[in-house]
A and B are shown apart, each in its own frame.
Chain A
Amino acid sequence: MTIPPIDGIVAAPAGGNIARKRHVAVQVLQDPVAICSLAILLILILVSVLAPFLTDQDPLKSSLAQTLAPMGQEHLLGADGVGRDVVARLLYGGQTSLAAALVAVGVAFAVGLPAGLLGGYYRGRADAILAWASNFMMAVPAIIVLLVVMAAVSQSTYVAMVVLGLIVSPSVYRLVRASVVSVREELFVDAARVSGLSDARIIRRHILPVVQAPSIIQAAQIFGVSIGIQAGIAFLGLGSPNEASWGAMLNDAFANIYVAPLLLLWPGLIICLTTASLALLANSLRDILGGSRKRTQRHLERKRDAESSSAREASTPAPADYAPVAEDVLLVVENLKVNYPVDGGRRTVVDGVSLTVSRGQVLGLVGESGSGKSQTAFSLLGLLPPEARVSAERLHFDGVELNSLGRGAMNRLRGKRIAYVPQEPMSNLDPAFSIGSQLAEPLRQHLKISAKEARTRLLGLLERVGINDPARVYDSYPHQVSGGMAQRVLIAGAISCDPDLLIADEPTTALDVTVQAEILDLIRSLQAERNMGVILVTHDFGVVADLCDRVAVMHTGKIVEAAEVRDLFANPQDPYTRMLLSSTLEGATPRPPLNRKPGVPNSTRPNPALPNRAQTA
């Protein structure tokens, strides 16, 4: 077993956690928008904190003589309506505004984060109460509450910000709760519980890190909003006269807007700069930390994992040589190649596959994950992602040379002449539409028939694929039928346009074994009845033995062996095929019952499985 190459995100072999965090910092530093907004915010914070050292003016000291003093030596940006220095007020006002916003963010998280963790992790009654409280808070009009508090309780900006923090805390609660609920269902949380970790530890180790990224983004957003709201309150004249703040400056400037319009510019500019930087920073962080990307990433990773081993070049050349037979040959593919871009090159996942399918023949494409079997099938269907590069020396379908696997050429054939049965029946049906409407659409498109005609035809087909009550299934939605039933529906859809070739990608892997047997029976009888060619992609040699006429074994993107099904099982030629066949557990000796005498240590018992293992190795 070799370790497959990884995706290059974590390059450092050192502790992954550190690598990941360093990686985020590096990404922030590579993003110009993030750098600029971070720099602006840092400067603003520094200047505000260092205000006493940067100016010797008192921001609160009014002087009638200096009223609306112009810009100059004494007042760099002039003085306001009561003769206070604008620069000093901007600097000290930054202290108030930033600290006030920090208070709001702090309160919102102090309330919202624990509530979200609690509600999301324990669910049940606590969750219901919290959800109710959060809905209530969200229904309360924030500005009115703030105005009432400022008017009736306290003039202090900080009190107002505590209230604001409480009012926005439901948004934190909802976000955290949603993240916790999604991660709580993960098996690694169950595993941690079985490992005896306390709930506090599970939350700290396994749940908090997941909440971290969206929380940071949310905090930046709340921070910006709070600065805006704080300025708004002060602008309305509700702030304490003993605090310099950007909003209070706006208020004063507005009173003098005809005499000294420039006074409005400075606080306005600085508020814009702060909130815009915060918003942009939040955006960049969201892109870098990827709130919603995680899930798809894992999905991709799974696929990549499956395909990665095909990156390695196999040393044996593909011996497959299909001489094209004249009339009944349906599909000839020669030297099919599929590759994908990877960092600094392209990775070949299908490497020179040639195959032939005759009418009425079932060709099994068998291999392990990463062998390129599904990629081969998808390239024939034209279903690969746009970055895939597909080429073939020859592509011949039913008497016509198509030369290339271009999208246009395949599109005309797909659905009508070449049909597809997928692995996961449920995810291939759109939950928003009834089964009937999904089946009828391609039929009407390809055969240009009326909805009524399509329905009659489809009801017949549904009955043919073994559905007892076709009319009911036709009108139901995907979630109302079982997995086996959904697969029957998809098979009915696949054969509805009378295809010549059916490509089935692991059609029974997701199904129970008794259902699998029925579906295989169905495919066999339909294939015989319509004389279809079938390409069956599978990893299961039992399914191959049941259904296929001919088998091609794939490994690392190449066909290592192709033979008639009986020959392959009776006399496998390639060492890889032999290894695969010997790995099947079928026919292995069953373990005998445990014969444990009291007092005899278990380890002295002979290993019943060992001789067996020696055989298979």
Chain B
Amino acid sequence: MISTVEAPSGSHGGSGSPLLSIEGVTVQYPSKGWRKPAFTALKGISLDIQPGETMGLVGESGSGKTTLGRAVLGLAPVTAGAIRYDGKVISSMNRKERRSLSDEIQVVFQDPYTSLNPALTVLDILAEPLMTAGTGRAAAEQRVTDLLEQVHLPKDAATRLPREFSGGQRQRIAIARALCRDPRLIVCDEPVSALDLSNQSRVLDLFIEIQERTGVSYLFVTHDLSVVRYISHRVAVMYKGEIVESGTADKITSNPDASYTQRLLLAAPVPDPERQAVRRATRQQFNAQLRMAEATGQAN
């Protein structure tokens, strides 16, 4: 019932070479226990991201969307295929070579409670990547002040500990950390799903604002279609380790082709009782048809 893997979409306007291209990437985790087959988290994924573009990656739990983000960051083992960044293959780099990429590729994680070391002040957290790169203490502190301003946090935030901030503010600190070394690509792993509704839209606006100013690209992983529609230029939908559909944000979130995407879209409740009642009826009808098709398929 799910349409087969679609070739990487070429629907982006520019003809320039992509910043990141993922070519037939497979990720397998060895299973515990002897001679058990390895667990395949990603099956031959292909995708590319242009400079300044947001690629939304949407799917449910277990779809492999987070694994793909981690593979780009070098935190998941790529067992087949290649990930190219700016033309060079980065998926087979060792830990040491990988470190040189920290200027280029950064990350914002989902959980603002565990992604910041609770024992370090905001200044220490933000200065750490800078000083690793050889920036002096004074210059690093100046840069941290700028960064805090960029993410709209008060200046005195630097001397405080992460636990003194709310979820939304912590996520701003995590964004500031990602921006530290002027990366060209940021992998965002569900960065707003732990936030309250009103913070969610503010943090998304911050992401967009930063992108407008710096031209950074995002690989934006989320389970929420309305978030992905708001932030992404293009969207890829993942299901069971494969991409079932990709295209522009409007196309995927309003008029998708793959039946899985349709199911996903119909399952998301609309904050409007009348429209939701219609959507619910459509969904139930759609699911009944799917079940029927399945049943007849089995009968034949």
| A binding-site residues for B, Cβ under 8 Å | 1, 3-4, 6-7, 10, 13-17, 20, 186-188, 190-199, 201, 205-206, 209-210, 298, 301-302, 305, 309, 368-369, 483, 512-514, 516-517, 520-521, 539-546, 565-566, 569, 579-581, 583-586, 588, 590-598, 601-603, 605, 607, 609, 612-613, 616
User: Contact string, B179-214, partner A, CB cutoff 8 A, digits 1/0?
Assistant: 011000000000000001111110011001101110
- The smallest C-beta distance from B222 to any residue of chain A, in angstroms, reads 11
Q: Which residue of B lies closest to A7 (CB)?
A: B163
Identify which of B51, B101, B102, B159 contacts A15 (C-beta below 8 A): B159
Identify which of A13, A195, A209, A298 contacts B113 (C-beta below 8 A): A298
Give the distance in Å from the alpha carbon of A313 to the alpha carbon of B168 in the complex: 21
Identify which of B201, B211, B213 contacts A585 (C-beta below 8 A): B201
Q: Residue B84 at the A interface, CB < 8 A?
A: no
Q: Which residue of B lies closest to A4 (CB)?
A: B166
Is A566 a contact of B273 with CB atoms below 8 Å? Answer: yes
Contacts of A193 in B (CB 8 A): 74-75
- The smallest C-beta distance from A198 to any residue of chain B, in angstroms, reads 7
Q: Which of B99, B196, B211, B253 has the most CB of A within 10 A?
A: B196
- The smallest C-beta distance from B159 to any residue of chain A, in angstroms, reads 6
**CB-defined A-B contacts under 8 Å, sample of 22:** A3-B165, A15-B121, A15-B159, A17-B124, A190-B115, A193-B74, A195-B177, A199-B95, A201-B132, A305-B167, A368-B197, A512-B60, A513-B225, A566-B273, A566-B274, A569-B272, A580-B197, A586-B272, A588-B226, A594-B50, A602-B52, A607-B209
Task: Contacts A590-B253, A612-B230 known; list 5 others, CB within 8 Å.
Answer: A13-B156, A305-B167, A512-B223, A513-B268, A540-B269
Contacts of B269 in A (CB 8 A): 516-517, 520, 540, 542-543, 545-546
- The smallest C-beta distance from A202 to any residue of chain B, in angstroms, reads 10
Q: A17-B124, A597-B14 are in contact. Are A590 and B129 (CB under 8 A)?
A: no
User: Contact string, B213-248, partner A, CB cutoff 8 A, digits 1/0?
Assistant: 101000000011111011111100000000000001
Q: Which of A3, A544, A594 has the most CB of B within 10 A?
A: A594
Q: A196-B103, A302-B113, A541-B271 are in contact. Are A593 and B120 (CB under 8 A)?
A: no
Q: Which residue of A lies closest to B164 (CB)?
A: A6
Is A596 a contact of B232 with CB atoms below 8 Å? Answer: no
Identify which of A369, A545, A590 contacts B230 (C-beta below 8 A): A590
- The smallest C-beta distance from A63 to any residue of chain B, in angstroms, reads 59
Identify which of A302, A591, A596 contacts B231 (C-beta below 8 A): A591
**Is chain A's binding surface mostly helix, strand, loop or mixed?**
helix
Contacts of B111 in A (CB 8 A): 187
Give the distance in Å from the alpha carbon of A192 to the alpha carbon of B74 in the complex: 13
Is A3 a contact of B226 with CB atoms below 8 Å? Answer: no
Give the distance in Å from the alpha carbon of A545 to the alpha carbon of B270 in the complex: 7
Contacts of B225 in A (CB 8 A): 513
Give the distance in Å from the alpha carbon of A191 to the alpha carbon of B179 in the complex: 12
Q: A196-B100, A197-B129, A209-B119 are in contact. Are A585 and B200 (CB under 8 A)?
A: yes
Contacts of B267 in A (CB 8 A): 513-514, 516-517
- The smallest C-beta distance from B291 to any residue of chain A, in angstroms, reads 12
Q: Which residue of B lies closest to A14 (CB)?
A: B159
Give the distance in Å from the alpha carbon of A516 to the alpha carbon of B74 in the complex: 33
Contacts of B274 in A (CB 8 A): 566
Give the distance in Å from the alpha carbon of A596 to the alpha carbon of B217 in the complex: 13
Is B230 a contact of A602 with CB atoms below 8 Å? Answer: no
Contacts of A609 in B (CB 8 A): 205, 208, 230
Q: Which residue of B lies closest to A13 (CB)?
A: B159
- The smallest C-beta distance from B59 to any residue of chain A, in angstroms, reads 9
Q: Residue B31 at the A interface, CB < 8 A?
A: no
Identify which of A17, A196, A209, A539 contacts B129 (C-beta below 8 A): A196
Is A542 a contact of B197 with CB atoms below 8 Å? Answer: no
Q: A3-B169, A545-B273 are in contact. Are A539 and B197 (CB under 8 A)?
A: yes
Contacts of A544 in B (CB 8 A): 271
Is A16 a contact of B250 with CB atoms below 8 Å? Answer: no
Q: A195-B132, A586-B271, A607-B212 are in contact. Are A298 and B15 (CB under 8 A)?
A: no
Q: A16-B120, A569-B273, A594-B13 are in contact. Are A583 and B249 (CB under 8 A)?
A: no
